[in-house]
Chain A
Amino acid sequence: MRLLRILFWIGWVVWLFVAPVLLIQLSSSSFAAWTYEENTLFVTWSFLVWWTILFWAWPFAFRSSESLAILGKIARGLRNFPKRLLSSMRNNPLFFITWAVLLIGWQVASVIVEGRVERTLEHPLVPGWDYVFGNTLFRMSGDWLISQVDIFGLEIRFEQLAPYPAFGGDRTWPAVFLALGFHSFMTLSRLVMGLALGLLAGLSTGLVISYWPILRQTSWTPMNFLRMIPLLAAIPWMQVALGPNLRGITIFIAFGVWVVLVVATMNSVANVPDRYIESARTLGASRPRTYFKVIIPGAMPELRTALLLSAGLGWSLTIAAEFLGFPTGLGYMASIAVQETNTARLVIVAFVVAVYSLLTFLFLNEMFKKLVSWMPQRTGKTDISKVAGAAGAARAETIHEV
């Protein structure tokens, strides 16, 4: 049983290292430009890597009994949702009022701007919600187009799902969601590839560097300099140097995440309090043992924040790279919106991206919580509003009494 578990872990790690490399090798040919073949290969292999990562990562993240419990929790949450919504509206009305004011204010602004600005553009500068969720959303069906894909000799004809408007087919509502789904899939594939590679490489490099003081001192300055380089501005360079393909964007995202994580790992290892290390050494633990059993767990709480931050960086890099030169993905959809000066389209894309990144954040947060489950729950957190409020209330009362 123990052997099996060890094998599982080795397999998991090896696969995560090998899979991206394989994918990169296979999906990027000598062509610099995006080709039909590459597109096909990309879709195929992205599908495979997604499937594999989910298959391997799922049991790791939530063991089967836990996943059942989580499903139960979600079901209960859904059932209680209307009740919770009502009670939270009563307890915290400002939250809902704020959002309502923002949404209605947008609609009002759209009417005002429409009246003031001359109609030289095809689309309104501030589109009302009717325009966003009516016309524009429907017209997004135009983005529905996937090349024919071979998966293990199995031919899948995506056109059967909904006709391609780009090839003269009818615009249909299913095509809208298929288009959004397809482009999200492309973006998420790139992100997952880059993040997986970057997280693993960053964590392992950072931990290796931290183990030897000489390595740490030597790499400190160059790594901190690399971190300060504005990587977002390097995207145009990346497109030519690394190629506007899966290999290029994966290396690029992975590099960005790697730099941030190596510095963060070095910092958080350095910040582990000396007394833990000293206590472990006096208890007779060897240096490697201290490192693995004391220092790395001790660095986890700080690392967790760094991991979440690097996921955010990964999102920004992916969207920006797609925006500047990929023919698929959510970033590409946003770039079309800018070309058409179509704010409504941008609103939809931005909303989708925001929801995805929120979900990524929640998912990663849940995963990393397991890493730091030893941590005491924070209870001594000041609720400033309450403290300041208490002071205010107390003052008011005393004044009232006098």
Chain B
Amino acid sequence: MSKIVSFEDLWCVFEHRSGQLVNALQNVNFQVKSGEFVCVVGRSGHGKTTLLRVLAGLQPPTAGRVRLGDEVATGPGADRAMVFQQDTVFPWLHVRENIEFGLRAGKTPREDRERITQHWLAAVGLEDFADSWPRELSGGMRKRVALASAMAVGSDVVLMDEPFGSLDYFTRRNLHDVLLDLWRETQKTIFFVTHDIEEALILADRVILLAEGKLVDDIPVTLPRPRDEDVRASEKAVNITKVILAHLGITEEEATRA
């Protein structure tokens, strides 16, 4: 069963080429229950991606640690699969082989592998493209492949670093639905980094706000699902938006002007 993910006194300090020290993360402390959908929101350059990379094990923290249950998470591994902002689908593998990659690495037996792959191909609606090359797919379909690959390794925690940032509005909305369906079905813990407040309101159980590397607020989003236009226009949702904007240093007038 999924484990609690806890960030304990997490610091991440980078050194610029000029020798200047930059605090990408400053004393971040919070816990995430299993099966929660957490959105990490903040301006660009304020530590969102760093937080995710530390959690993924791609970036060692300067101080503090990340725990999965009782274990300290160190290097990258299949227990924290990640979907990236860039296109990271392996162009030299067919769609099916892409989804199989993590399973092969984990030495899953052949029959299981085929069954699981088939399941996830169906789940993201790409059965007809199983033997296509990634270059033959559209950007949104490639994202589905990445999503399926991350889901298929069977990790309890899935990390997403602005995965839909480069997609058009309609594709993005469509993928939100796909993602939410998968989440409901699998009960995985999902960390979703975004700078889009609307996206956070559609997806999240909880919004973690980062500013200058500090955790400035932890907002529970208790809106009813599915979160259609009406729900997002409700007073509660608007209030959450206002809180987030205020924390990010944007007043309401600025927001409306922009």
Contacts and interface: CB of A to CB of B under 8 A. Distances in A.
Contacts of B76: 390-391, 394
Interface in A364-400: 390-391, 393-395, 397-398
Contacts of B71: 401
B187 interface: no
Contacts, number: 19
Q: Size band of the B side of the interface? A: under 10
Interface residues of A, number: 8
Interface string B45-75: 0000000000001000000000000011011
Contacts of A391: 75-76
B77 interface: yes
Contacts of A395: 75, 77
Contacts of A394: 57, 74-77
A402 to B, nearest CB: 9
B104 to A, nearest CB: 15
A390 B53 CA distance: 14
Nearest to B71: A401
A233 B76 CA distance: 53
Nearest to A395: B75
A222 B158 CA distance: 56
Given A390-B75, A397-B75, 6 more contacts: A391-B76, A393-B75, A394-B74, A395-B77, A398-B77, A401-B72
B84 to A, nearest CB: 14
19 contacts: A390-B75, A390-B76, A391-B75, A391-B76, A393-B75, A394-B57, A394-B74, A394-B75, A394-B76, A394-B77, A395-B75, A395-B77, A397-B74, A397-B75, A398-B74, A398-B75, A398-B77, A401-B71, A401-B72
Nearest to A393: B75
A398 B77 CA distance: 9
Secondary structure of the B side of the interface?
Answer: loop
Interface of B: 57, 71-72, 74-77
Most buried by A among B57, B72, B74, B77: B74
Cβ-closest 4 pairs across A and B: A394-B75, A397-B74, A394-B74, A394-B76
A395 B72 CA distance: 13
Contacts of A390: 75-76
B14 to A, nearest CB: 13
B136 to A, nearest CB: 22
Contacts of B72: 401
Nearest to B79: A398
A388 to B, nearest CB: 12
Contacts of A393: 75
Nearest to B74: A397
Contacts of B77: 394-395, 398
A393 B57 CA distance: 12
Contacts of B74: 394, 397-398
A395 to B, nearest CB: 7
A391 to B, nearest CB: 7
A276 to B, nearest CB: 21
Contacts of B75: 390-391, 393-395, 397-398
B155 to A, nearest CB: 13
B17 to A, nearest CB: 10
A395 B76 CA distance: 8
A384 to B, nearest CB: 15
B61 to A, nearest CB: 14
Most buried by B among A391, A393, A398, A401: A398
Nearest to B73: A398
A293 to B, nearest CB: 30
B206 to A, nearest CB: 28
A35 B74 CA distance: 75
A397 B71 CA distance: 12
A401 B74 CA distance: 10
Nearest to B58: A390
Nearest to A394: B75
A115 to B, nearest CB: 53
Contacts of A397: 74-75
A397 B65 CA distance: 15
A112 to B, nearest CB: 47
Nearest to A390: B75
Interface string A283-321: 000000000000000000000000000000000000000
Nearest to B75: A394
Contacts of B57: 394
A390 B75 CA distance: 7
B6 to A, nearest CB: 17
A84 B91 CA distance: 43
Most buried by A among B57, B75, B76: B75
A396 to B, nearest CB: 9
A360 B77 CA distance: 46
Nearest to B57: A394
Nearest to B60: A390
B31 to A, nearest CB: 21
A394 B78 CA distance: 12
A356 to B, nearest CB: 35
Nearest to A397: B74
A320 B122 CA distance: 64
A206 to B, nearest CB: 31
A56 B57 CA distance: 56
Nearest to B72: A401
B45 to A, nearest CB: 16
A398 B76 CA distance: 10
